[in-house]
Chains A and B, each alone.
Chain A
Amino acid sequence: MLRFKAAIFTLLLLLLFCLSAAAQTAEELSDTAALEEPVYEIPRLAQVTNFEAKDSPDDAGGEIELTWDLSVDDKKEDGLVSKYVVLRSQNPTSDFHIVGVANHRDSSYIDKNLKEGTDYYYKIVTFPKYQGEVRLTREEIDPLMEQYPELTELDIKDVSMLAEYDRDIMSVFDDNILGISRVAGPVKSRAQWFNSKDLDTLIIGLTICISVVIFIGMARGGRKLFLRRIGGLQAIENAIGRATEMGKSILFIPGIQDMDDVQTVAGITILGRIAKTIAEYDTKINMPVSRSIVMTTARETIKEAYLSAGRPDAYSDDMVHYITDEQFGYVAAVDGIMVREKPATCFYLGAFFAESLIMAETGNSIGAIQIAGTAMPAQLPFFVAACDYTLIGEELFAASAYLSGEPKQLGSLKGQDVGKFIAMVFIIIGAVFATLAALTGSEDILEITNMIKSWFSA
């Protein structure tokens, strides 16, 4: 009897175990089915309308501009649209790939880095917000991203939503699941010769350039062009004379930029005039530079100045010597030269950065007369504080014209004055209209103000 009871009990246990195993298997099977079958219903949103693709205007080529009217669903408050996905293909019926996304409520997109002259076709997908949870793991996402690199344009949530519909994610864009626009195209990108957006720059530039040419012509024709005196320039000759009397050298620093900086060019032009006076006075000049091309140009300039002063024998290439391109290495060396040679005069004419105060302070400490000139707004305060004379901003460029007396430079300066006059006139007219618009609230006056401003839109 005991054996019979034990057998029944064992059978019951076995039955219980089997039932439990069967239940677990059923649960696992149901889980797998959940991943394989769609459990999230992707809302199908209204497609965009009036979708057009055209070559991007006023560009250097390689860009196509897409425009559309917003999906009806995107116009609603708290709508379901999360973004617009841009699809591109070179075939009107197949091979569409994601090339970018535009935010919801955006109605344009510029597709860049395209091959010029190639036909492209586009579609816009009205992409819904995902209301569910991200169920994909990193291990599942990585292979998907590897298979479809274009998915990086989408968020993880978007990928998860698409994966819930079908593990062959890109098929969603072919099925009738999402709101997909009609195909726009074919369209080719082309470069334009003329950028109409820069028309204002062209007109202003031409006006100034024509003024410059007219004034150069006037100067060449022998007409005397008036230029007002520039304070710092009066001091240059005195400073050279002082160095001559003291029997000391003159230090010339052309800044730390290369010849592609207009300030360096202006500095070197002034150097030509200074070098000529130095040659006439038989004074010494020392010019450490931080750029090799500046060294070459400066040597040419000084050589020519010595030649025109009738002292070619006094010229030496050692007058201009390269130090290093490194900003503070150059400053350390210049400071060393200053305290060891104790020049009577220091010129700082060109483009300067953080080294300006270090050099000007050292020059001040050795009692040198210092003349600076730069158009770097952040460095001007230091030169103003530490130097005897400072050519502020455009005075540096004006100085080179004033000193050289060349028709080209004088004409250029006068032409720039025309530009400044135009600027003053339009500022006054624009400000008057803007003030009237603010006081009266008139839309018409505001429109005139905006029109004047638009002529100066950089």
Chain B
Amino acid sequence: MNPKTIKLIIFIVILTSIVLSVYFVSMDRDSIREGIFVTSAAFLTLFIMSFLYKDNPYYKFAEHLFVGVSAAYWMTMGFWGTMMPNLVAKLWPGAVRGVLPALAEKDASYWFVIPLFLGLVLLMRLSPKGGWISRWALAFIVGTTAGLNLIRYLRSDFIAQVNNTIIPLVDKTEAGISFWGSFSNIFVFIGVLCGLIYFFFSKEHKGFFGGAARIGILVLMLTFGAGFGYTVMARISLLAGRMTYLFGDWLGLIN
């Protein structure tokens, strides 16, 4: 059969299924609105899942719809969630009286002229000759972030790590020395030291240092394996959620 004819048949089947689904779900829930929403969500899910077979026009449709809607959504969120409360309401509280009345009563804070200036400087990129000025704002963002994160990472990835690894290698309990407790402590101690050696870049991984680095990467791979299994289980639960929607909310086959 001509491929075009096959595509047309598939299109007609899908279209008919959508119409029938809207009809039956609407009848079931006494609401055409519900029928349209539930059917749209179900068919868009199926369109996205069709990517598992191969790229196709239905996936493309869902993809472009998703990208378009989400881009518009985030733009709106950026305007109403950031620009209005964090800039306009701070500089000209009276200007937001109609839309954000709670913020309109506060005093103006003219410090926010600085982010306004940086924002405008960032827009200079649109100017062919003044594009270089936008680098100031970028440099400010990158530099400030690096400085702020230095303390955060130093505490969480360095200081806390050292503190938690200072442990006795022998786990002594009231009943005597615990074998598994001691094994666990020694494993953590050696694992952390070898992991640090693996990430030591000033020395070639050769001899004793190379052996320790190999143990380090082995420990990392063991951790990754456990992490892989854990995350896959979480993904399975997401799949179960989608299946519950399709077979429960849409088709009504499961409660």
Contact = CB atoms under 8 A, between A and B. Distances in A.
Interface of A: 200-201, 204-205, 208, 226-230, 259-262, 265, 293, 296-297, 300, 322-326, 328-330, 332-333, 335-336, 339-340, 354, 357, 377-378, 380-382, 384-385, 392-395, 398, 413-414, 417, 419-421, 423-424, 426-428, 430-431, 434-435, 437-439, 449, 452-453, 456-458
Contact of A265 (B74, B146, B167, B224): B146
Contacts of A322: 71
Which size bracket describes the interface of B in this complex?
A: 35 or more
A435 B171 CA distance: 8
B166 A426 contact: yes
B70 interface: yes
Contact of B135 (A300, A325, A421, A438): A300
Contact of B201 (A228, A354, A449): A228
The 7 A-B pairs with the shortest beta carbon distances in the complex, nearest first, are: A430-B166, A326-B70, A329-B70, A438-B168, A381-B228, A381-B224, A325-B74
Contacts of A378: 227, 231
A340 B55 contact: yes
Given A300-B135, A377-B227, 17 more contacts: A227-B201, A296-B122, A296-B138, A323-B71, A326-B67, A326-B70, A329-B67, A354-B235, A393-B199, A394-B199, A414-B202, A417-B200, A423-B158, A434-B166, A438-B171, A458-B159, A458-B160
A444 to B, nearest CB: 15
A452 B166 contact: yes
A332 B63 contact: yes
Of B69, B142, B192, B201, the most chain A CB neighbours within 10 A belong to B201
Contacts of B193: 424, 427-428
B201 A456 contact: no
A336 B55 contact: yes
Contacts of A392: 220
B231 A382 contact: yes
Given A296-B134, A380-B227, A431-B167, A326 B66 contact: yes
Contacts of A420: 196, 199-200
Given A228-B205, A417-B200, A336 B189 contact: no
Given A259-B145, A426-B162, A438-B168, A324 B67 contact: yes
B59 A336 contact: yes
B122 A260 contact: no
Interface of B: 48, 51, 54-55, 59-60, 62-63, 66-67, 69-71, 73-74, 122, 125, 134-135, 138, 141-142, 145-146, 149-151, 153-156, 158-163, 165-172, 189, 192-193, 196-197, 199-205, 220-221, 223-225, 227-228, 231, 235
A104 to B, nearest CB: 32
A423 B162 contact: yes
A456 B228 contact: no
5 contacts: A208-B154, A228-B202, A326-B67, A339-B51, A458-B155
B169 A431 contact: yes
B196 A424 contact: yes
A302 B101 CA distance: 45
A395 B153 CA distance: 16
Given A328-B66, A380-B227, A395-B199, A434 B71 contact: no
A34 to B, nearest CB: 46
Given A336-B59, A382-B231, A417-B201, A204 B189 contact: no
Contacts of A335: 51, 63
B67 A417 contact: no
A86 B66 CA distance: 54
A335 B55 CA distance: 9
Nearest to A394: B199
A384 B142 CA distance: 29
A339 B122 CA distance: 34
Contacts of B62: 332
A333 B200 CA distance: 38
Contacts of A456: 159-160, 162-163, 166
Nearest to B161: A423
